[in-house]
Each structure stands twice: as C-alpha cells, then as structure tokens.
A and B are shown apart, each in its own frame.
Chain A
Amino acid sequence: MKKHFLTSDSIFQFICIVILIALCIVTLYPVWYIMCASFTSNTYLVSHPGVLLRPHGFTLGSYKLALTHPLLLSGYKNILIVLFISLPINILLTLFTGYFLASKKVLFKPVLQFMILFTMFFSGGMIPAYLNVRDLGLYNTLWALILPGALSVYNSIICKTAIEAMPDSLSESASIDGANDITILFRIVLPLIKPTIAVLLLYYGVGHWNAWFNAAIYLQDNEKLPIQNIMRAILIANSNILNSAAAENDQVNQFAESIKYATIMLTTIPILCIYPFLQKYFVKGVMIGAVKG
C-alpha cells in the first residue's frame, strides 16, 4: 500500500486525536483550576474571579489552615477510623460470601444464595434503615457509617467470579490432603485472587472516602462528621461551620475562598494518586461486574 500524507484515514485519525485532546482538556482544566486556586492568595481570588491558568501570589496559607483547623482535622481522623475498621470487615465478608457462592455441592446454597441476591433488588428504603440504625443504638456513632454497608453483594459477585476462574484441582487436592475450608480460603484462594482483592479494596475504599449521605442522616455532632460532610458544609451550604469551631476567626476569614480549594485538593489527591496504579486491575473488575449484571 502506498502512503499518502493526506489520506482520508489520516484526516479521520487527526480529527479523533483533536477531539480526544479537547476532552482531556475539559477533564483536566477544572481540576487544574482547583489546584491553582488552592495555592493562590485569597485577595487575588476575590478580585479576579474567572479563568486561572497558574497560581498567583503563591501561598501555602490555606493548606496550613486546612491541616490545623480542628474540624477539618477531626474530619480526616473520622474517615480514617471508618476506613481502618471498615475495610477489613468489608473484605472478609466479601471473601466469605464469594467463596460460599462459588462453592459446589452445598445443601443450603440455593436458599442462602437467594437470601443474598434478594437484597440487591429489594430493600426497606431510607426511613426503615434510619430507624433500624436508631434501634440498634448506632445513631450518632461512627458504627453507623461502618456496619450498614459492611457487605456489597455486587462486590461479592465479583469475588465469586474470580474464585470460580481458579482451577478446581487446586482446592480439591488441598482438601484431599486434609485441609479444611478456612485453610483453603486463606492459603490457596486468597493469594491467587490478590488482584481482585486490590480492586475490591479500591471500590470499598473509594466508596467510604466519598460517602456523605449516611453521615448526614446518622450523625449529629460536627466533631463526628467525616471530611466529606465538613466539605459539604463549606462548599455547598456555605456555612460558617469553620468559624464557629475555630479559635482564630480572622484566619478563617482571610482564607475563606482559598480554603475551599485546599480542602478539595487534600481530599481528592490521595485517591487520584492511587487509582492509576490499580488501573489494569479495576478494568478487569468492571468487566466482571458488567458481565454479571
């Protein structure tokens, strides 16, 4: 085949690339804007609203404030506590459920399977769940953020699919050697599905980190709120929640605009740093999830 400089194919490819670059700019600019604004002095932000291409009057003041403000600190602390307790529970329950759903020749599997899958399609709804949390005495405790979502059936199906993809002979030969299910699960299955566990950690972790609704209805005290709810107060309700808790009101006012951007950066950067490394794994996870419903 002869190569022309301007074939219809090369024009088409050029158009595709231009559209994709435009999409990348549209995706990146809002985030770039937030980053620039977080380093920009408050006075500049107030006097020059609109397009920002780089930080002006570089300052770390809003970050300093964000990292020392008691309410923001407690917000980070609370979400870290939630993650620290939730993730092991999430992964264990998901692993147990996945292992059970993938197992064969179990008498009560159909019953339990129905009981598990039914919850995917039918639920009590907002108010019964809310009153249930109150009844169980979890209201206004961090447990209200940990226990109600301890298991995602969807994720356990991903886990089940990964376990099913393993060759049967592995666990069979182990059980002939006298290994019980716990040994098989933790010594043989778990090491082999590590990539899936990484994806599940990402799914659950991002889910907890980004959640705010449960905290909004289950928690009463500002000191117990996770960071997203503090951010909601600052960014969306424009409340003076920070002023009322801070000793140095002047400092908060001084950074009223730019602290918004600094907190956005501080809550978003951790996840944005992690996900590219897990990309090839979660791509797999999405496919399994989509195939199974």
Chain B
Amino acid sequence: MRSPAIKQTNTHSFSKTLAKDWDRNKWKYILMVPVIVYLILFCYKPMYGLIMAFQNFKISRGISGSAWADPWYKWFENFITDPYFPRIIKNTFTLSGLTILFSFPAPIILALLINEVKNKVFKRSVQTITYMPYFISMVVLCGMINVYCKQDGLFSQIAVALGGTAQNYLASPDYFRTIYVLSDIWQKIGWDSIIYLAAISAIDQEQYEAARVDGANRFQQMLRITLPGLVPIIMILLILRLGGILNVGYEKVLLLYNPSTYDVADVISTYTYRLSFPTSGTPMYSKSTAIGLFNTLVNVVFLVTTNAISKRTTQSSVF
C-alpha cells in the first residue's frame, strides 16, 4: 500500500497537511460520504454480527444480550462433528472440481474455434448467440431444466426414442452433477470466451506468417501459436478460479436440488441456508454464522495462497 502524503509530516505540521488536503480534495471526500455510510451499514455492520458465531445467539436477546458459547469454538466443533459435514464438504469440492474440469476449458475451445472462422458475419452471429444464455436468469434456467427433466419431458422423450426409459432426471442422484455442469457450460461458455478472444486478437500476426512460410497448416498454427499465446491468461484465470474453490453456485443448487438428491447436491452454503431458514423448528443462527465464517476464512486462505503462487509464476496478482 502506498502512503504518498503521510511522509510530508516531517516538514509541515500535521494539521497543516490536513487543512491543505481538505482544501484540495474536499469534494472528493464529500462525494465519498454516501459510499462510506453504505459500507458501514451494509458491509461492516454485518461483520460485527460475526460475534454470533461465538455466542449462543437468541434473536430475542440480540447480540449484546446473548450468552457466550462455551467453549468459544463450540459451533465450529459442532460443525466439524456434524454427521452431514463429510457429505457437504465432499459435494462442495466435487461440484467445484467438476466445474473447473469441464466448464473451465470449454470457453477456451470455443474461442479457438471462433478464431478459425474467416467469415465475419458468421463469427459475430456465433458470438451473439452464445452470449445469450448468460443473460437468462438462474430461476428461468432452472425452470427450463425442470421442464426438460420431467418424467414426460424433452430428455425422457429423447431417451425413449433411443431405447431408454422415461424418468424424472432431477429426482435421481445419478444425474444431478451432470445436469449441474452441463447447464453451467451452456450458460457461460460464450460469455467466458470473450476474454480469450480478446487475448487471441492480441497475438502477434507475424508469428502466423512465419508459420505459414514454414508450411504449418491452420490446425498446427492453432496448437503451436494460438494456444501457447493464451497460456498466460489461462493460468491467471485458473488460479483465480481455484482461489474461489468453495464458491459453488448455491443459488442454482437451491433451485435444482430436492431431498432425494441431497446426497450429491447439498453443499456448504445450501446447508447453512437450511439451518438458518428451516421449514420447521428453530433457526440455528449461531451455527450457521460459524459455518459462514469458516467458509469465508477458507476462501481467504485459498485466495491469498493462489495469489501468492500467481504472483511468483505469472507476475500478475489481485493484490
């Protein structure tokens, strides 16, 4: 972090520096007042609420009136010894891992394919069409999946035509992961390819010229020039993605799962959601906050680690 003006305190008095800074930048500070109010009310005040993770929080008593948990790590211990703990950790890493394995390379392949097309109109049309699903809301996407996966829906019809049997795919634990990953690719492949297309357009054209002279065909050029040209940006995005490994798209899981698929679909955030907003019984606010804090901390650790690796290997970092 840079500290440009602070060193001047040696020569001027601090109040003089303050007065000068205010005189120069007062409107900048005044414009920031609503932003600071927002940050305090909606970002920092909830952080104070994290105290709940170390309390036996009762909503009727509030944070100041609730008793401390004994021992202080009670809810964290409770979470780790929870019978569902192995299941939700496994599912979180599996869904996240599968997304990285399949959804991450898909837009790279798409960008390479689009790059091979010479016809400008066709190229632009493919781009516009593949960007579209990104703008479809999660509710609508999951609603569409619901309609297609029904007992008599599109997928069953296709399965029957191919000699299989009709079934409700969303009710079966066997298909949840496939549905989750394939729909993720469908929705994001175009949007995520934008960055790779931009990187491709920055590759030096002379390299292709030289390769052509050496007799390389388009496919060889793609493998030997375009793909290596993309490696730096691929590395950065991959490291960033690994940094958010616990961030499973929980909104989508919430919309798609049901008790019959909890075994493969229940992740950390959906479990916290059910603890906090149970259909019956008392909400477990303290435990849920503790899990949330655990999740955030693991994410921060992952992010800092991957950022450090990224800094060392690719010279690019978030901070």
**Interface set of A (CB-CB < 8 Å, partner B):** 7-9, 12-13, 16-17, 19-20, 23-24, 26-28, 30-31, 33-34, 49-51, 92-93, 96-97, 99-100, 103, 105-108, 110, 112-117, 119, 121-132, 136, 147-148, 150-151, 180-182, 185, 206, 209-210, 212-213, 217, 228-229, 231-232, 234-236, 260, 264, 267-268, 271-272, 275-276, 279, 283, 286-287, 290, 293
Contact = CB atoms under 8 A, between A and B. Distances in A.
Interface string B16-55: 0110010011011101101110110111111111101000
Interface stretch (B97-105, B173-181, B259-267, B286-294): B286-294
A106 B27 contact: no
B93 interface: no
5 contacts: A13-B116, A20-B122, A50-B152, A132-B42, A232-B255
A110 B25 contact: no
Given A12-B218, A23-B130, A93-B35, 15 more contacts: A16-B113, A30-B148, A93-B38, A99-B31, A106-B21, A119-B39, A123-B296, A127-B289, A128-B50, A136-B41, A147-B41, A231-B143, A264-B143, A279-B127, A293-B318
A131 B285 contact: yes
Contacts of B127: 279
Contacts of B227: none
B36 A112 contact: yes
A150 B25 CA distance: 24
Contact of B49 (A93, A131, A150, A213): A131
Contacts of A228: 137, 139-140
Contacts of A150: 38, 42
Interface of B: 1-6, 17-18, 21, 24-25, 27-29, 31-32, 34-36, 38-39, 41-50, 52, 59, 110, 113-114, 116-118, 122, 125-133, 135-140, 142-144, 146-148, 150, 152-154, 156-158, 186, 189-191, 194-195, 198, 217-219, 233, 237, 240, 251, 254-255, 269, 272-273, 276-277, 285, 288-289, 292-293, 295-296, 299-300, 303, 318-319
Contacts of A92: 34
Contact of B45 (A96, A132, A181): A132
A132 B46 contact: yes
A196 to B, nearest CB: 16
Nearest to A265: B140
Contacts of B140: 228, 231, 235, 264, 267-268
B49 A13 contact: no
- Label chain A's interface by main secondary structure: helix
Contact of A231 (B45, B135, B139, B300): B139
A130 B249 CA distance: 19
A103 B318 CA distance: 20
Nearest to B110: A23
Given A93-B34, A126-B273, A283 B217 contact: no
A105 B4 contact: yes
Nearest to A270: B135
Contacts of B285: 127, 131
B27 to A, nearest CB: 4
Nearest to A104: B4
A258 to B, nearest CB: 11
Nearest to A284: B198
A96 B116 CA distance: 42
A210 B138 contact: yes
Contact of B133 (A20, A27, A93): A27
A285 to B, nearest CB: 9
B238 to A, nearest CB: 12
Contacts of A279: 127-128, 131
A271 B131 CA distance: 12
B47 to A, nearest CB: 5
B296 A181 contact: no
A116 to B, nearest CB: 7
